[in-house]
Amino acid sequence: MPEAGSACRRGSILGVPPPDPLPEPLPEPLPEPLPEPPFLAACRGGRPEHPPVWFMRQAGRSLPEYRRVREGTGMLEACARPDLVVEITLQPVRRHGVDAAILFSDIVVPLKAVGVDLDIVAGVGPVVASPVRDRAAVDRLRVLEDDDVPFIGDAVAELVERLGPTPLIGFAGAPFTLASYLVEGGPSKDHARTKALMYGDEATWHALMGRLAEITAAFLRVQVAAGAGAVQLFDSWVGTLSAADYARYVQPHSRAVLDAVGSVPRIHFGVGTGDLLHLMAEGADVVGVDWRIPLDEAARRIGPGRAVQGNLDPALLLAPWEVIAERTRQVLAAGRAASGHVFNLGHGVLPQTDPDVLTRLVDVVHQVEPE
């Protein structure tokens, strides 16, 4: 039906003058459209009113209130308790006023949930009782069902309600970084056993990576279904590979994970990945960059149409404030070369960081005017 006031109502039909127009009804008060949160706007390539900022490992480590609530509770036990996950996730949002929360959990939680015998040992990191080094061990790794991690959906749903407009970032470890813990049995500097399996038995390697991709995708889908507004895939240790090996042994599996969660912005992060950025960008909306490469150079390598996240060296936060402020300005200036910039560190907050420095850093980033 034509709209009131459109051309065919205005003309006279067969000489009959058109009726007087009816008085305009009073406009219904429409709800104000909520502005998109700055973090999500930047992920989608926009320039929000101030650059958004959050910090990897903002929950935990550096916060005294975190150490208090964790007293007497093991890391994996804490991750399985929605009340603790909610409280710890909210702590840095309350304290620093960051633009996004990240779920408090760990990359090994979904592995534990499918029955891998592992623990997080204080001062060491994740330790796996029986490392996965042959086909039989890979075949024993089962897929993740939603009801393996009921505490994740519960925590995310409550967080989304409590956070209001502040987005919650869900996360998972990427297949390569998870494979490294499973094959090595714990943290490793050279990832030699992982590479031995990768180069030495390609079929078993792809079977392992394929299964880990399924587990990771399922873990992220639980978080997105419960309301996470974005996800970050952490491939912390993949910088140990060349671009050619990344493309052959890792990329198809990480890509499958990213493709499985395409309904929210996807951040893809690794450390020492300067030579991999263009490959890690495929399937991602935002590429996380460590401190080794300036963001304008990173944006050039990644190409147009994707946002960047980063990239102040976490150790800089131990320097005098003037140094931090100067380097922060440099990061923000370099970030303008990209289609969208989410300010962050180049890796996680170091445990010895003064939390007041983080709060001050958030304020400085927020004072920057958009260009």
Whether residue 335 contacts residue 341, with contact meaning beta carbons closer than 8 Å, is answered with: yes
Considering the candidates 44, 61, 95, 301, report the single residue annotated as catalytic: 61
- Compute the distance between CA of residue 98 and CA of residue 129 in angstroms, rounded to an integer: 37
Inter-residue contact 90 to 159 (CB < 8 Å): yes
In whole angstroms, the minimum distance from the beta carbon of 125 to ligand CP3 comes to 3
Q: Is residue 345 near ligand CP3 by the rule CB under 6 A?
A: no
Residue pair 343/50 in contact (Cβ under 8 Å)? The answer is no
The verdict on 314 binding ligand CP3 (CB under 6 A) reads: no
104: contact with ligand CP3 by CB under 6 A: yes
Cβ nearer to ligand CP3, comparing 88 with 339: 88
Q: Does 335 bind ligand CP3 (CB under 6 A)?
A: no
Query: Which residue's Cβ has the minimum distance to ligand CP3?
Result: 60
> 311, 344 in Cβ contact below 8 A?
yes
- Shortest Å, Cβ 254 to ligand CP3: 14
Bridge-based pairing of strands 168-173 and 230-235 is parallel
In 3-state terms, what secondary structure has residue 312? strand
By CB under 6 A, the residues from 141 to 160 that bind ligand CP3 are none
Residue 171 interacting with ligand CP3 (CB under 6 A): yes
d(CA 226, CA 17): 59
Tokens representing 38?
Answer: 């700055």
Angle (nearest 5°) at CA 236 between 234 and 242: 115
Of 55-63, 133-141, 146-154, 279-287, which part binds ligand CP3 (CB under 6 A)? 55-63
**Hey, which residues between 112 and 141 contact ligand CP3 (CB under 6 A)?**
120, 125-126
Determine if 95 is a binding residue for ligand CP3 (CB under 6 A): no
Which helix (H) or strand (E) is 23 found in, with range? Answer: none
Q: Report in angstroms how near the CB of residue 72 gets to ligand CP3 at its nearest.
A: 14
Residues that bind ligand CP3 (rule: CB under 6 A) add up to a total of 19
When computed from its CA atoms, the radius of gyration of the chain, rounded to whole angstroms, is 24
Is residue 107 within the footprint of ligand CP3 (CB under 6 A)?
yes
Active-site position among 66, 99, 148, 181: 181
Determine whether 57 is an active site residue: yes
* The total number of residues written for the chain in this structure: 371
181 is catalytic: yes
DSSP 40-92: HHHHTT---SS--B--TT-SSTT-HHHHHHHTT--HHHHHT-HHHHHHHHHHH
Note if 354 is an active site residue. Answer: no
**Per-residue string for binding with ligand CP3, 215-254, x by CB under 6 A?**
-------------------x-x------------------
Catalytic residue among 106, 235, 285, 290: 106
Residue 53 has phi, psi (to 5 degrees) of -145, 135
Positions in the binding site for ligand CP3 (CB under 6 A): 56-57, 59-61, 75, 102, 104, 106-107, 120, 125-126, 171, 177, 187, 234, 236, 348
| Catalytic residue list | 57, 61, 70, 106, 181
